[in-house]
Amino acid sequence: MAGMGPAPKDPSKRARRNKDSVPQTVLRWERAEPPELPDFEVEVDGELREFVWPARTREWWRMWIDSPQAEHFGSSDWQYLLDTALIHARYWQGNLSLAGELRLRVAEFGATPSARARLRMVFAEADDADQGRGRSGGPSARERYGQLRMMPGGKSGQGKGS
């Protein structure tokens, strides 16, 4: 008796072939330096006042500048993050309706462990690998056992049962 269920679909008629339907565009990479939080004025009760960045937003901005992700940010990334900083500031000034937008925007930069997993970001542990150690951090097999050689008179080259 054959397997259960319908016969497999003809490969030429399958909907999914795991090929990119749209070709990838390769861009020239240029790392950009992070901008400072700008000084600007906002209208409050009909008059212009200088916008004051909350201390919490200044700390948040510094955290992004110092983050491992920052070395991969281009100019458009920093501009998007600068707009996000304004949302962050408004949130910390009490506009809690911006929480959802803030969460979505920082997730695009890998702010949380789940966002980094979705973006396939991992933190490298290169110092042990650079010193010739394996992933476990322990000594390699060569360090543990040295240069092992076959003893004279061993059964090298003979098949089983000989």
Please give the pLDDT value at position 77: 95
Please give the pLDDT value at position 4: 75
pTM over cut 0.75: no
With beta carbons less than 8 A apart as the criterion, state whether 73 and 82 touch. Answer: no
Please give the pLDDT value at position 139: 74
Question: What mean pLDDT is predicted for residues 134-157?
Answer: 67
- Lowest mean per-residue pLDDT among 10-24, 29-43, 81-95, 133-147: 133-147
> Where exactly are the structural domains of the chain?
53-127
Please give the pLDDT value at position 157: 55
Confidence of residue 153 (pLDDT cuts 50, 70, 90): confident
Please give the pLDDT value at position 31: 87
Please give the pLDDT value at position 15: 74
pLDDT digits (tens, 9 = 90+) for 27-43: 888 889 999 999 999 88
